Amino acid sequence: MFPSPAETRARWAARLPDLDTSPMEVVAALKNAVGLLNHAVDPRYAGACLTPAEVDALVPLRHATSPVIARRLAERLGLSPAGVSKTLAKLERRGLIARTPNPADRRSVLVEITDAGARAVDDLFPRQLAAEVELLAGLGEDREWVLKALRRLVEVMESVPGGAPGR
């Protein structure tokens, strides 16, 4: 079986004493949490017309008050502009979003959700939230502490050059 993150860290430190292994346990916990979240959410999308990644792209557009610059959407999602562009192209082909040239900057496009896209996300996002509610219900009073710690982690990570999208 695999060693725990703490044991793995200790083994790396023994093998390469000058290697800074301090991030390993934090990163392992984050990856484990994301894996558990995906494991809980993915079954809710079985047979659905959208993938979780597509819903993640549509949710911010669903409540945007005006068309959004595609690059800003990528930054908001913490994803590469190329990856988001690929997702948007798929959504556009299926009539779930519309992309138009940005009149203020011809190098960028504006994105907005269509009525069909809004209906699709309105159908699927509540399923995802239900899985997340079940998964996180056990936090109880620790919820605020966890949120505070995660916000602090994001703040620290964004402060590093290249740590935040668009920097």
Domain ranges across the chain: 48-137
| Structure tokens, 152 | 């602090």
Given 3-state DSSP classes, what are the helix, strand and coil percentages for the chain, each rounded to the nearest 5? 65, 10, 25
pLDDT attached to residue 9: 86
pLDDT on residue 39: 94
User: Which phi and psi (to 5°) does residue 69 adopt?
Assistant: -70, 130
Within the chain, which residues score under 50 in pLDDT? none
**What's the confidence (pLDDT) of residue 5?**
79
49-95 pLDDT, tens digit each: 999 999 999 999 999 999 999 999 999 998 999 999 999 999 999 99
CATH topology of domain 48-137: Arc Repressor Mutant, subunit A (1.10.10)
Burial readout 86-99 (b: 16 or more C-beta within 10 A, e: otherwise): ebbeebbeeebbeb
Instruction: Give the pLDDT confidence score for residue 22 in this predicted structure.
Output: 87
Distances from the Cα of 141 to the Cαs of 32, 71, 133, 137, in angstroms?
22, 37, 14, 10
The pLDDT assigned to 166 comes to: 56
Q: What is the mean pLDDT of the chain?
A: 92
